[in-house]
Structure 1
Amino acid sequence: MFEALGRFSCRFKWLVIGLWVVLFGVSLAATPFLEDVLTGGFADPDAPGARAGALIEEKFAQGPTNLVVIFKSDTLLADSTVFQAAEQASLDVLKAAGIPNLTGVQTYASTGSTLMVSRDGRSSVAALNFSASQQEVQAELGQIRDAIRSIVLQTYVTGEPAVYADISTYSFTDLRKVEVYGLPVALIALLFVFGSMVAAALPVIVGGLAVTVTLGGMYLLAQLTSMSIFSMNVATLLGLAVAIDYALFIVWRFREELHKGASVKDAIIVTTARAGRSVLYSGAAVMVGVVGLVFFPSPGLRSLGIGGALVVFFSVAASVTFMPAILAVLGHRINSIPVIRLHEAHDSRLWKGWARVLLRRPWLSIVVAMALIALVAYPAVNMKTQMTSAAALPPAAESRQGLEILDQEFDRQALSPILVLLTWEGDPAIDLTRAASLFFYGQQLLALDGVASAQSPFTLGGLSDPTALAELWPQFEKLLNDPDGFTVPPEGITLGSGQTITAEQLEQFKQLIKATVAPGAVLYRVVGQNDLSPLRTDNLVAALVDSSPPAGYSVHVAGEAVFSYDFAHELNTLFPWVIVWVVFTSLIVFALLLHSLVLPVLAVVVNLATMAMSYGLLVMLFQGDTFERVLRFTSTGTIDAVNRVLMLCILFGITMDYAVFMLTRMHERWHRTGDARESVTIGIVRTARVIVSAALLVVIVTGAWVFTSIGTTKILGLGIALAIIVDTILIRLTLLPAVMVYLGKASWWWPSAWKRNPR
């Protein structure tokens, strides 16, 4: 099949090149519009918290608070006339701007809530409600920010749509940074690999081609399904790494065949048959890794898997069709424009010497490599994860600045309460028995660890006292079931105990009922304590989800903290199954490629060691604040939970690349001679330089992400780069061949009943 593909690409070279050029041109035209169709976040619309949020929206006929606007002054107090006038003027401009789906605005002036004023009294917040999806709000963010600007006050628009809009903006800027920093350095590195400008340029061209066509494909897919903004970053990072590597292997083998004296046509056919086959299996190994992301119900994570699989597909396709066609055009001119004189004989002696060391003392190499692997991997046992946050954005991002102001100057817990909805079937009215059940459930919520308050008609001061509840029941019943028809007595109400419920308290109570009581449902706004850590917040959400409602009632929990809890639970539940998928499919791919049952197990085991080292490096560099200033990121004391999954799915496949190309060369020699030790030696000598070169290129193009702005991709790129370095040195060139030397012929064990199948 691969020989036929090589002949076709050689014979119809201009047709193949023309098709790729057209595909590139169409995709390039679509990429400027990609930002408009990609969404932010990893929310799963079918997660329990999301379903609870939709039910709350349905019951209370109001959209969720999508955006928060912070008005801030260095001199004016928030309750001053000038401050209030300036704030209202900005909001009036916003309302007049005709922003679609804006359903409501809550401010300090409209609610009287002191929670909407900062502790120093110089800032206030306005909550904007939209009856629209996050993507629709995100699309209008630029217009919202322009409308809300004030000459008198500083303004910050934040909230989840704002955070992901800023991530989108910085993501496109980051792509340009990667192009500026990564590709020129990769080209220089390729000059040291091949010596000639023409040979060096081809892998970079293929990398740009594969990524551009992938981005065009993602634009089309975004018309059919939700695609996360992060899918663009992941596709670019992964695409440049694997496409340049695959093209490197093709060019390397082609030049090797020409050096042996083969004609251009024969060199292309052999290259496609041998290196092309390895590229296909390597691509399959990478693809099964990223496809593991499709297991997650989150549309955002699934889109990362789709984008990753797409870029690997186009990288393989370009390497086995476009590259042979280009090589057919260039022929011996592949070595044109020599720039650097190479010393390949010296390199060959170096790797022969290294192979002799492994052959003489395999046990020593194994022990030293395993000790170093354990040392690098050990910090991973202390890994702590949490959701992507605004801390991933650079400090200059408006949405991050706004959230930091909320954290530092406001009661963030009170502004973003956990919403607990209690529903029941049957008669929607609230009688005394039902009121008592709702009261006792409210007391259960208040008793939970980490709860500061639970706002509802059944947890409000004296009105939540059972005696007061019974005494006030006639008025309370009317308030609960017909708040608009209840007239607040000016003198308030005096209880038998002598306690007085003032008219002001009754009016606030009336407004609270209207906001939290609906037919067949009552809403409790649970406010956590200010000092709650992320772990204690998760524990509180878990306690609320598992709380025991009265018989006949159902509990639904929603809110920002619940989204994080649901997503973390989803990741932790499915992550082991993703590992099983990646390991099992990799075993199958390697068994089919190498016709061995031992080597696939060995390759997977050492790859798991690489994963352990990569997690150890993440913890060492990014979980603490030691390297914050050097690497320009903000430590949260945790690792992004998404990065933990991405590292597995991406890195597992990339490192399999090198195993594929080394082991296929060893397999060729083993198939020819049956000498296990010689096959290891030849495999190292023939592939070590190209593997080191390929690893260096991956380190360059992924390490270039350290210069970008978004912490998530910065950490992912640098984490992959460092993991590739230690993997190449400790695993591919030391541990794997040393174990093969020790195992000898057992490495190539294949059931005799299967040996009649052609190799």
Structure 2
Amino acid sequence: MLTARSAPRPADASTAGAPPGALGRLGTWATTHLRVVLVLWLILIAVLGAFAPKVTSSLAGAGWQANGSESVQVRELAQRHFGGNASSALQVVVTADRPVSDPAAQKVIAKATDLLERDPRISGVVAPQQGATISRDGKAAILLAGAGAGPNDMVRAADDLKKPLAALSGGGVTVNATGSSVMWGDFNTANHDAMMHSEMVSWPVTMVILVLAFGSLVAAGLPLLLTIAGLAASSGALVLLNHLTPTSIWAMNFAMMFALALGIDYALFLVVRFRAALARHGDPVKAVAETMDTAGKAVALSGLTVLVSLSAVMLVPAPAFRSMALGIMLAVVFVLGATLTLLPAVLGRLGKRVNAASLPIARPGGDGSSPRFTAWGERLWRHPFRYGVPALLVLVALAAPVIGLRTAMPSITVVPEGDSSRAGYVAVQKAFGDGAPGTLQILTPTADAPQTARQVAGHGGIAGVMPPVQAADGSGLTMIQAVPSADPSDPALAGTVDALRHDLPASAQVGGAAVENLDLQKTLNDKTPLVMGVVLVLGFLLLLVTLQAPLVALLGTVTNLLATAGAFGAARLIFQDGHGAGLFGFTPQGFLDGWAPVFFFAMIFAIAMDYTVFLLSTAKEHYERTGEPRAAAIGAIGHSGRVIFAAAAVMVAVFFTFALSGPLPPKEMGIVLGVAVLLDAALVRLILLPVLLRLTGRAAWHTPRWLKRILPDIHFSHG
């Protein structure tokens, strides 16, 4: 809300006659037009929700690539000019306890070929060839099913075909589909199922915490109202978005997570303020207006900071990351819309019934504050170093290991052992060598092919080279396939690829599924500092506009970064060094999955900014009313501490259920995000930041005159 600028006013200043601001008027309108609001939301949910059942089957399974990279160019050229023999093609591995030339094995190969050829997404099937796709002992053979569709459709084809192909096994012959498309299909299915299971397990814990936090069964149901509205709308919107741009299936998981998180955060903040305003005014409409002009404004700005933090992920040229960020942003928009319209309308109608079925615990003070958290704020004010220094030392100690953090794309071990892609991967390695699952595809003009082939064959990191194949369409391209000596997850492969790109003629391009992972990792490494920098700068600017004071905006930003560094330091100790691996039930890879720094950083910062805005906007409100730093710091803890504590407790419980799931990526996400929220709430928001407000005093809220002329005038005190 834009208001006339004024000096801090005394706590007893009357604001009874002041008209409500823009959000207050919106809340008043929503309260007095409940039916209109409900009808509009029901229409929106019905229209978008009609598409929601298609979300799992419609969304994309691929997109883990660096657009514009050399390996992606190779894949596109291979699909266009070499009959679909691209990295997205399917490989069907047939192994037998006898030579595959045996009639029984040949019969299985023929059935597999027929099954593949009948699928319209398969451009053609290349039979096993001696010296290339038939093992030296003759007991393993590979059918190549060309990619006749885009990468996302090939993942769907893999999902459709892997079970019928496996069903051909029998009589000493085993059939497994493998390759990049099958692996991503298995990866998505295993992790999606694990995340859905974890979310379902977390619901009972979430409900218990909500009831305790709200102190009322009726009030505890309000976050579900926002979550359901946000999820139904965003699920359908994701399906529609998928028609415009391929949208990752993972977008739905993260959208669900953020819809729940923000639904709880926003509902808690507004309900606590509404109860206090209702106790003062006795009129639900006036209570809603005051709530929206204070807490509603903080929620709106918090939602904006979340959106800005996540938008930085769009700087990474990878479809999966961009679509996941878009999915979360859609959920934020819908939950925010419901919070600013649907929730005030329902609160206005409920009135005092919002406290129905109350529990005889944790009753707030008459002004809506928590006596326990107010007492805690007073203790921090009296003894800032006693609590602030230990909190800072813990954060620094946890952040220190981040210096040695290593990242890489995940190995095949993140796919469950019984899945088709992993079984086929192991079979290919056993029959053709460690590097066979990561076969390189090198495209070169035909005129340069002899020289290129000689150089590839003579390279120390190459175990074998297949005969060059000239494109049949007259494009003038030749493909050379080379088997590296290193496993696709071995760091040595990156050295081999870099050396080939440096030594081969400039016209040669090196690609393949394993190289796509390497190129994606390089892109992530290159873009991570940029994304982090943009998030930090935009976060600071938004806090500056919101709080009107550069020092407190800087404190909020820096403390966010400290908690985030602590979470990644803990991640290094657990996932890279293996501390606690037995407890969490996984085998460490020796690195953190490559997408974690850039994507988890944006997610952590978004959640942390949520809590930061709640705490500091409340502090600013008290400072505007009293002009006293002490009232601002203690009032912030007393009025928002319970909200932050309860919301963080729900998030930590939800995230740590992911840590108990089977696949490794959800474990990483659960532990990194869970530790981040725990550190941010327990050590930063409820200790370190209030202590810094104590130590900086009035300087924290000082605004230079030149800055006052630039910034919009935003106040949080009512009236």
Q: Same fold (TM over 0.5)?
A: yes
Residue from 388, 394, 397 that aligns with 1:366: 388
Cα deviation 1:66-105 (Å, max 9, x = unaligned): 11222345x545443323333333333443xx21042332
Note if 1:679 corresponds to 2:632. yes
Residue from 93, 107, 128 that aligns with 2:145: 128
Note if 1:139 corresponds to 2:156. yes
Note if 1:89 corresponds to 2:111. yes
Partner of 1:570: 523
- Tell which structure's C-alpha radius of gyration is larger: 1
Change (3 A) 1:453 1:571: same
- Verify the 8 A CA contact 1:37 1:223 in the aligned structure 2: no
Matches of 1:513 and 1:225 in 2, distance apart?
34
Q: State the Cα RMSD in Å.
A: 2.8
Q: Which moved more, 1:412-421 or 1:652-661?
A: 412-421
Residue from 593, 597, 601 that aligns with 2:554: 601
Report the 3-state secondary structure (helix = DSSP H, G, I; strand = E; otherwise coil) of the residue aligned with 1:222. helix
Aligned AA (2:442): V
Change (3 A) 1:141 1:565: closer
Q: CA deviation at 1:30?
A: 1.6
Q: Which moved more, 1:401-410 or 1:323-332?
A: 401-410
- Verify the 8 A CA contact 2:125 2:145 in the aligned structure 1: yes
Matches of 1:144 and 1:391 in 2, distance apart?
22
Partner of 2:536: 583
Q: Pairwise mapping of residues 433-448 of structure 1 onto structure 2 (< 5 A)?
A: 438-439=450-451, 441-446=452-457, 448=459
Aligned AA (1:21): L
Report the 3-state secondary structure (helix = DSSP H, G, I; strand = E; otherwise coil) of the residue aligned with 2:92. strand
Report the 3-state secondary structure (helix = DSSP H, G, I; strand = E; otherwise coil) of the residue aligned with 2:221. helix
Matches of 2:282 and 2:617 in 1, distance apart?
21
Note if 1:747 corresponds to 2:700. yes
Q: CA deviation at 1:620?
A: 2.1
Matches of 1:407 and 1:380 in 2, distance apart?
34
- Verify the 8 A CA contact 2:194 2:666 in the aligned structure 1: no
- Verify the 8 A CA contact 1:72 1:154 in the aligned structure 2: yes
Q: Pairwise mapping of residues 334-353 of structure 1 onto structure 2 (< 5 A)?
A: 334-344=354-364, 348-353=370-375
Residue from 603, 623, 632 that aligns with 1:670: 623
Residue from 120, 140, 160 that aligns with 1:100: 120
Q: CA deviation at 1:29?
A: 2.7
Residue from 505, 508, 511 that aligns with 1:555: 508
Residue from 495, 498, 505 that aligns with 1:542: 498
Cα deviation 1:474-526 (Å, max 9, x = unaligned): xxxxxxxxxxxxxxxxxxxxxxxxxxxxxxxxxxxxxx555799774444333
- Verify the 8 A CA contact 2:273 2:295 in the aligned structure 1: yes
Q: Pairwise mapping of residues 297-336 of structure 1 onto structure 2 (< 5 A)?
A: 297-336=317-356
Count matched residues.
684
Partner of 1:612: 565
- Verify the 8 A CA contact 2:470 2:478 in the aligned structure 1: no
Q: CA deviation at 1:324?
A: 0.5
Partner of 2:291: 271
Note if 1:70 corresponds to 2:93. yes
Report the 3-state secondary structure (helix = DSSP H, G, I; strand = E; otherwise coil) of the residue aligned with 1:9. helix
Change (3 A) 1:168 1:446: closer
Matches of 2:41 and 2:411 in 1, distance apart?
39
Matches of 1:36 and 1:57 in 2, distance apart?
25
Q: CA deviation at 1:400?
A: 3.0
Change (3 A) 1:719 1:532: closer
Partner of 1:528: 484
Matches of 2:175 and 2:485 in 1, distance apart?
27
Residue from 415, 420, 423 that aligns with 1:398: 420
Change (3 A) 1:141 1:353: same
Change (3 A) 1:260 1:94: same
Matches of 2:473 and 2:706 in 1, distance apart?
72
Note if 1:33 corresponds to 2:37. no
Partner of 2:130: 112
Q: Which moved more, 1:711-720 or 1:669-678?
A: 711-720
Cα deviation 1:431-465 (Å, max 9, x = unaligned): xxx78xx43x5554455452334445xxxxxxxxx
Report the 3-state secondary structure (helix = DSSP H, G, I; strand = E; otherwise coil) of the residue aligned with 1:554. coil
- Verify the 8 A CA contact 2:433 2:485 in the aligned structure 1: no
Note if 1:644 corresponds to 2:600. no
Q: Pairwise mapping of residues 336-485 of structure 1 onto structure 2 (< 5 A)?
A: 336-344=356-364, 348-423=370-445, 438-439=450-451, 441-446=452-457, 448-456=459-467
Q: Pairwise mapping of residues 215-234 of structure 1 onto structure 2 (< 5 A)?
A: 215-234=235-254
- Verify the 8 A CA contact 2:438 2:488 in the aligned structure 1: no
Partner of 1:489: none
Aligned AA (2:330): L
After TM superposition, which residue ranges in structure 1, 4 or more long, deviate above 6 angstroms? 515-519
Matches of 2:260 and 2:359 in 1, distance apart?
24
Q: Pairwise mapping of residues 198-277 of structure 1 onto structure 2 (< 5 A)?
A: 198-277=218-297
- Verify the 8 A CA contact 1:516 1:524 in the aligned structure 2: no
Report the 3-state secondary structure (helix = DSSP H, G, I; strand = E; otherwise coil) of the residue aligned with 2:125. strand
Q: CA deviation at 1:337?
A: 2.0
Matches of 1:160 and 1:692 in 2, distance apart?
43
User: Between the two proteins, what is the percent identity of the paired residues?
Assistant: 27
Change (3 A) 1:191 1:525: same
Matches of 1:623 and 1:518 in 2, distance apart?
49
* TM-score, normalisation: structure 2: 0.88
- Verify the 8 A CA contact 2:79 2:147 in the aligned structure 1: no
Cα deviation 1:220-252 (Å, max 9, x = unaligned): 111111111111112112221122211111111
Residue from 82, 102, 109 that aligns with 1:80: 102
Matches of 1:222 and 1:245 in 2, distance apart?
29
- Verify the 8 A CA contact 1:241 1:701 in the aligned structure 2: no
Matches of 1:686 and 1:608 in 2, distance apart?
24
Matches of 1:521 and 1:92 in 2, distance apart?
29
* TM-score, normalisation: structure 1: 0.84
- Verify the 8 A CA contact 2:191 2:666 in the aligned structure 1: no
Matches of 2:488 and 2:270 in 1, distance apart?
55
Matches of 1:613 and 1:193 in 2, distance apart?
27
Aligned AA (1:5): L
Matches of 1:556 and 1:620 in 2, distance apart?
38
Q: Which moved more, 1:204-213 or 1:361-370?
A: 361-370
Matches of 1:540 and 1:676 in 2, distance apart?
60
Aligned AA (1:187): M
